[in-house]
Amino acid sequence: MNPSGPLPIPDAEVQAYVDGQLAPDRLATLEAAVASDTALASRVAEMRALNAALRDALDPVLAEPIPQQLLAAAMFPGARAAGLRRWLGPAFAVAATLVVGVGIGWFGRDALIERAGTPTTFARQAAFAHALYATDVNRPVEVWANEEKRLVTWLTKRLGFQVHAPDLNGVGYALVGGRLVAGNEKPTALFMYENADKQRLSLQVRKQAAGSGETAFRYAVENGVGVFYWIDDACGYAISGNVDRAQLLKIAHVVYGQLAAAETATPK
């Protein structure tokens, strides 16, 4: 450094300059020093590159979906027991969950939960999958209903437990077919139904963690699409659609009755 030149820049100021934290009144001095001192300039460039590399290396963690237990921990502890049951329990604490979706819909509410990536509750994932596939006129399913036996066998094998496609002809809906859908942790089975007006239902099943012993029906509306879902110790079920609540509940009862009967017939 030229002894007659400006004073050397303190290390703390170089750090602050690199980190964008330098006091504004020192900025001009630093910039002049960097412009005239190639060694300082390359030191600053190296430190900036290191900052950028550290962020590149660590930023991907931010894009990971938030685990359920951390969302639960972000809930006011006093409200947690009720809140968990209401919001997270149905998606988490059941052995298998089944959803029937009707119509097309999105889920605008609770953007806070889905903003980390995939929607985290099963009801929303099911609505998402339904909106995606029910609108697909030509290819809503991977395996069509004329191969129902193969479909059920395949999904049973992929999910690791016996699944059933309920017969909804009694309420005016015929099986279209089914497909496998990616879930948060486990794969999900989707059965698609259609009525004479070409309105579609989708029915989704997946295996969950531990059973919770709940059976209550729950109803939610996601942007005009009603969602019914319920849970028992082995399975959870849900129906969503833009048909009215009473009709949805009727379909839900049919599905519930058939699956309960099927479960009794095939002990696990």
Partner 1 sequence: MRIRPRLLRSDLVTPPAATDAPGLPHPDLVAAIPRLRRYARVLTGDASRADDLVQDTLARAWEKRRLWRTGSDLRAWLFTIMHNVHVNQLALARRDAANVSIDADPGNAAWQLPVRANQLDRVELLELVELIGRLSADQREVLLLAAVEELRYDEIASVLAVPIGTVMSRLSRARAKLQRLIAEPASPLRVVK
For partner 1, the closer of residues 18 and 227 by Cβ is 18
Minimum Å gap between C-beta 182 and partner 1 is 17
Residue 142 C-alpha from the chain's centroid: 22
Number of Cβ atoms within 10 Å of the Cβ of 192: 27
Minimum Å gap between C-beta 70 and partner 1 is 5
Minimum Å gap between C-beta 264 and partner 1 is 35
* Alpha carbon distance 245, 264 (integer Å): 28
For partner 1, the closer of residues 69 and 146 by Cβ is 69
Q: Which residues contact 265 (CB under 8 A, 6 or more apart)?
A: none
Interface contacts to partner 1, rule CB under 8 A: 11-12, 15-16, 19-21, 46-47, 49-64, 66-67, 69-79, 82-83, 86-87, 110-113, 115-116
For partner 1, the closer of residues 1 and 81 by Cβ is 81
For partner 1, the closer of residues 83 and 187 by Cβ is 83
Minimum Å gap between C-beta 171 and partner 1 is 33
Nearest residue to 216 (alpha-carbon basis) of 199, 200, 196, 238: 238
Could you tell me if 241 and 221 are in contact, meaning their C-beta atoms sit under 8 angstroms apart? no
Could you tell me if 166 and 259 are in contact, meaning their C-beta atoms sit under 8 angstroms apart? yes
For partner 1, the closer of residues 74 and 174 by Cβ is 74
Minimum Å gap between C-beta 63 and partner 1 is 7
Q: What are phi and psi of 33, to 5 degrees?
A: -65, -40
Parallel, antiparallel, or unpaired for β 96-102 and 236-241?
A: parallel
For partner 1, the closer of residues 50 and 210 by Cβ is 50
Minimum Å gap between C-beta 144 and partner 1 is 37
172-175's contacts with Cβ under 8 Å and 24+ in sequence apart are 172/196, 173/201, 173/251, 174/145, 175/145, 175/148
Q: Which residues contact 78 (CB under 8 A, 6 or more apart)?
A: none
Residue with tokens 């295996």: 207
Minimum Å gap between C-beta 17 and partner 1 is 12
For partner 1, the closer of residues 29 and 199 by Cβ is 29
